[in-house]
């Protein structure tokens, strides 16, 4: 099943580096993805504002 693989990976990570480090790594990876999305959105917003200012 697909659900067994992430659980096995998580348990292996916890046993190798410890729970706090495994959780911190997981959160940093998630935050990085969110920051990439926010950066792209800000760039699009900036471009839209430039286009709107040029039309006026």
Structural domains in the chain (count):
1
- Give the domain extent around 20: 4-55
Q: What is the pLDDT along the chain (56 residues), one digit of tens a residue?
A: 455 687 888 788 888 888 888 888 889 989 999 999 999 999 999 999 999 988 76
Q: What digits encode the pLDDT tens for the residues 4-19? A: 687 888 788 888 888 8
Q: Rounded distance, CA 12 to CA 4, Å?
A: 12
Those residues with Cβ within 8 angstroms of residue 10's Cβ, 6 or more apart along the chain or in another chain: 22
The percentage of the chain sitting over the pLDDT mark of 90, rounded to a whole number, equals: 39
Those residues with Cβ within 8 angstroms of residue 14's Cβ, 6 or more apart along the chain or in another chain: 22
């Amino acid at each position: 099943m697909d659900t067994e693989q992430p659980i096995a990976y998580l348990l292996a990570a916890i046993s190798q580096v410890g729970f706090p480090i495994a959780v911190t790594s997981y959160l940093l990876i998630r935050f990085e993805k969110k920051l990439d999305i926010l950066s792209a959105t800000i760039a699009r917003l900036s471009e839209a504002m430039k286009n709107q200012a040029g039309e006026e």
